[in-house]
Chain A
Amino acid sequence: MRRNQVAVVGAAETTELGVIPNVSQIQLHADAALNAIADAGLKLSDIDGFATAVETPQQIAHYLGITPTWVDGTSVGGCSFMLHVRHAAAAIEAGLCKTVLITHAESGKSNIGRTPRMIGPDSLNGQFELPYGVSTPASMFPIPVLRYMKTHGITHEQIAMVAVVQREWAAKNPRATMKTPITVEDVLNSRMIAYPFRILQCCLVTDGGGALILTSADRARDFPRKPVYILGTGESVETPMVSQMQTFDSSRAFRTAGPLAFREAGIAHGDVDHLMVYDAFAHLPLYGLGDLGFMPHEEVGKFIADGNTRPGGKLPLNTNGGGLSYMHSGMYGMYALQESVRQMRGIAPAQVQGAKISVCHGVGGMFAASGTIIFTNER
């Protein structure tokens, strides 16, 4: 895909984030969509392309009252929205549509009007994983961690620092769910969920949503907000069964999608001013730094423990507080994209001064899928 041909011209989250017991999941989609449309200065009838995940595109498009001529229902977990951005950029460039709306919402905490997710006993997961007592993502996603630590020499304290640093970012963000500072000792003494991970290394469970609007870069100049251009993109999938990953010391989906986006963007790692790595659990930023090629995996633990990703550090990471401290409704990728867009617009609560390039990397399932979007505010 060519660089900087498509831009984000509308971006917004739901009016509220956190615990929203009085709004159903489908209405959270609509709330985010209407906020993004207002942000872009558009009308619903201007939307001719639509993408969403978990819910079908027809469900949300009809609820919103729009008639798209291009749809994408890619639903590969929490990074689905990174894939939607990539697909939408290609569709706009190909002339299939002009103005794409991407929505995410989940009543993850309050469970109002939520689509059930079932795993059949005759599926491969149902036959070869469920019988061994896996249940929530917390029982599955950390399974690779001990092998990762042994292979790369990562310590429990270093992984705990991921949560500590992200809480520092969250403290700067009025919309963050958790703002009280924490220490490594707090993390390592918090309630055990699935050894080696404790509750402060697991994502929040909240309600909310977000929406993006994309159009061609040539049209983007006529919109009220500063355009945020798509510089590079990548995507991949690996396996829905965490036990069947190629190895546990790296994610194949990450190291396929991430470097693809860097090559497309034509940038070096030193050019990156701001980084988002979807942190459903505390090990994901470590995998992200290594698999996206910022440094060898052996160095990622020390890099974070030394404070390089905290406020004032040389590589600001997960500056909204992340899934660990900002919010996590179930498919967090949309919120990572929203923070990258805010940083590129220059309006983030914890703004990285002068940031020009933001890398936004998402995971779907338990390392099952991955999507990477590289944004810039310069064309």
Chain B
Amino acid sequence: MAEPARAKPKPTPETQHFWDGTQAGELRLQRCDACANVYFPPRPFCPACGGRKVCVFKASGRAKLYSYVIHHRPVPGFTPPYAIAVVELDEGPRMMSNIVDCPQTPEALELDMKLEVAFEKLDDKITLPLFRPAKG
């Protein structure tokens, strides 16, 4: 029997571009043509001004650690203790993620530490954006 896997996202028409992006090794965000607001999660209009003219662009993948917990309870697909983090992208929006290539300890996980995106392929359709300490 296979190991229990982590919960897998199922894209919708409005989020498909995001998941296509991660599969292609890109973290894609959206920007409003009218007010230049950059936002997440995906939707085909700007939540700041309501404008429907928005574009998709490739984000830098750079972020910093905004906050986290280190979860000690069992969850399918995870080996506790593991950090559940919220990262702040250089472009502004925040997203939940996990921090990889880093000990899952309060000492190693310093708030505001610089991070970069690291893609983890779950299957042929879904690749998750995770983050690791930025190099250099």
Interface residues of A (CB under 8 A from B): 120-122, 124, 126-136, 138-140, 142-147, 150, 192-197, 241-244, 248
Check B9 against A131 for contact (C-beta < 8 Å).
yes
Check B9 against A145 for contact (C-beta < 8 Å).
no
Per-position binary interface string of chain B over residues 74-99, scored 1 when its CB falls under 8 Å from any chain A CB and 0 otherwise: 01011001101110000000111110
Chain A min CB distance to B104 (Å):
9
Check A192 against B72 for contact (C-beta < 8 Å).
yes
For residue A122, which residues in chain B have a CB less than 8 angstroms away from its CB?
Answer: 9-12
Select which of B68, B70, B94, B106 is within 8 A of A244 by beta carbon: B94
Chain B min CB distance to A339 (Å):
29
Check B73 against A248 for contact (C-beta < 8 Å).
no
Whether B50 is near chain A, meaning CB under 8 Å from some CB there, is no
Whether B37 is near chain A, meaning CB under 8 Å from some CB there, is no
Check B97 against A197 for contact (C-beta < 8 Å).
no
Check B69 against A139 for contact (C-beta < 8 Å).
yes
Check A133 against B84 for contact (C-beta < 8 Å).
yes
For residue B7, which residues in chain A have a CB less than 8 angstroms away from its CB?
Answer: 121, 126, 130-131
Chain B min CB distance to A82 (Å):
26
Select which of A132, A147, A242 is within 8 A of B98 by beta carbon: A132
Whether B103 is near chain A, meaning CB under 8 Å from some CB there, is no
Check A147 against B111 for contact (C-beta < 8 Å).
yes
Check A243 against B10 for contact (C-beta < 8 Å).
no
Check A129 against B96 for contact (C-beta < 8 Å).
yes
Interface residues of B in 7-23 (CB under 8 A from A): 7-12, 15
Whether B66 is near chain A, meaning CB under 8 Å from some CB there, is yes
Check B71 against A146 for contact (C-beta < 8 Å).
no
Q: How far is the CA of A192 from the CA of B71 in the complex (A)?
A: 8
Interface residues of B (CB under 8 A from A): 6-12, 15, 40-41, 66-73, 75, 77-78, 81-82, 84-86, 94-98, 106, 111, 122, 128
9 sample A-B contacts, Cβ–Cβ < 8 Å, listed by A number? A121-B8, A127-B11, A128-B96, A131-B128, A143-B69, A143-B86, A146-B69, A241-B96, A244-B40
Check A121 against B67 for contact (C-beta < 8 Å).
no
Q: How far is the CA of A144 from the CA of B81 in the complex (A)?
A: 18
Q: How far is the CA of A144 from the CA of B68 in the complex (A)?
A: 7
Check A145 against B67 for contact (C-beta < 8 Å).
yes
Most buried by A among B8, B66, B69: B69
**Given known A-B contacts A139-B73, A243-B94, A248 and B67 have beta carbons under 8 A apart:** yes
Check A133 against B86 for contact (C-beta < 8 Å).
no
Check B111 against A150 for contact (C-beta < 8 Å).
yes
**Given known A-B contacts A143-B69, A147-B111, A134 and B84 have beta carbons under 8 A apart:** yes
Select which of B12, B70, B85 is within 8 A of A194 by beta carbon: B70
Check A195 against B128 for contact (C-beta < 8 Å).
no
Check A121 against B96 for contact (C-beta < 8 Å).
no
Q: How far is the CA of A122 from the CA of B86 in the complex (A)?
A: 20
Check A132 against B84 for contact (C-beta < 8 Å).
yes
For the A-B complex with A122-B11, A132-B128 known, give 13 more contacts whose Cβ atoms are closer than 8 Å: A121-B7, A127-B9, A128-B96, A129-B96, A131-B128, A133-B98, A139-B75, A143-B68, A145-B67, A146-B69, A146-B111, A194-B73, A195-B70
Chain A min CB distance to B117 (Å):
14
For residue A128, which residues in chain B have a CB less than 8 angstroms away from its CB?
Answer: 9, 41, 95-96
